[in-house]
Amino acid sequence: MIIFKKAADCSRYLLKIKEKGDVVGFVPTMGALHSGHISLIKSGVEAHNVVVASIFVNPTQFNDKDDFEKYPVTIDKDIEMLEAAGCEALFLPSVPEIYPEGTEKTPSYDFGYLEDILEGVHRPGHFKGVGQVVGRLLDIVEPDVMYIGQKDYQQCMVLTNLIQQRESKTRIEICPIKRADDGLALSSRNARLTDAQRSVAGTIYQCLVSIKTKAENGDFSVVQKECEELLVDKGFDPDYIALANADTLELLDDYQSSQKMVALIAAKLGDVRLIDNMLLN
């Protein structure tokens, strides 16, 4: 696997690959890789793409300084995992390489409603930061396909919107959520859970399953309350337990079987914030 630290070197290399007629698949990450990230790499490899990953812990998408500073870094292990998965190249830039003119002068995007709800409420400025860094990465990599995880459902919608705003030819491929045996969605932040916290962390998944199971003839506000009580009982501090239209993310007060629905949960366990979601129908 070739590692690039400079944007210009990475772009030049990928241009040659594209000139040969190969398809470039791109997997942007913040590192501390787990098998969820690797499943994205493998989707690209299986589709015979030349797969490029990036590892960049983007300061502009962290609204919480502490979360940024404590974000796990496991670069040597990440490189081993990427190589083993068949990743062709890794872009590993520094902050000045991504924001040579500073963050203020780097283009950012407006996602309207999508940045005013759910994660947008609890992490002000987060999606502006995500849009800014992915916009910059797309300028450098110009991939044919970008692989992203359903794990970050709202982010998938923001990035789809970003591609539309940029009138980019890049196709987005949304990959399913990889989970641990107890259902906990794999996340780099899980490494920060204590053993006691880890033993209850699967409760978020149980709540999503319960919301899905009761969609047929339940009342969402009742299920929502049950989930909130269960999470609080297990030591979580829930930010939201929400139901939304899966295509527009319009929030729903109750189940609407005529619509495609998604349930979304965000909750803190100690100082670790976990998010997860599940499509209902």
Q: Which residues are catalytic?
A: 37
Q: In the set 36, 44, 143, 183, which binds ligand AMP (CB under 6 A)?
A: 36
Does 185 contact ligand AMP by CB under 6 A?
yes
Stretch that binds ligand AMP, among 29-37, 81-89, 206-214, 248-256 (CB under 6 A): 29-37
- Three-class HEC string of the chain: CEEECCHHHHHHHHHHHHHCCCCEEEEEECCCCCHHHHHHHHHHHHCCCEEEEEECCCHHHCCCHHHHHCCCCCHHHHHHHHHHHCCCEEECCCHHHHCCCCCCCCCCCCCHHHHCCCHHHHCCCHHHHHHHHHHHHHHHHCCCEEEEECCCHHHHHHHHHHHHHCCCCCEEEEECCCECCCCCECCHHHHHCCHHHHHHCCHHHHHHHHHHHCCCCCCHHHHHHHHHHHHHHCCEEEEEEEEEECCCCCECCCCCCCCCEEEEEEEEECCEEEEEEEECC
Looking at beta carbons only, is 38 or 223 nearer to ligand AMP?
38
Q: Tell me which of 126, 136, 178, 234 binds ligand AMP, using CB under 6 A.
A: 178
Choices 77-85, 145-153, 162-170, 214-222; region in contact with ligand AMP by CB under 6 A? 145-153
In whole angstroms, how close is the CB of 32 to ligand AMP at the nearest point? 7
Among positions 205-244, residues that touch ligand AMP (CB under 6 A) are: none
Choose the stretch contacting ligand AMP; rule: CB under 6 A; options: 28-36, 70-78, 83-91, 214-222.
Answer: 28-36
**Nearer CB in complex with ligand AMP: 154/224:** 154
- Cβ distance to ligand AMP smaller for residue 56 or 99: 56
User: Of the candidates 186, 208, 227, 244, which one interacts with ligand AMP according to CB under 6 A?
Assistant: 186
User: According to the binding rule CB under 6 A, does residue 128 interact with ligand AMP?
Assistant: no
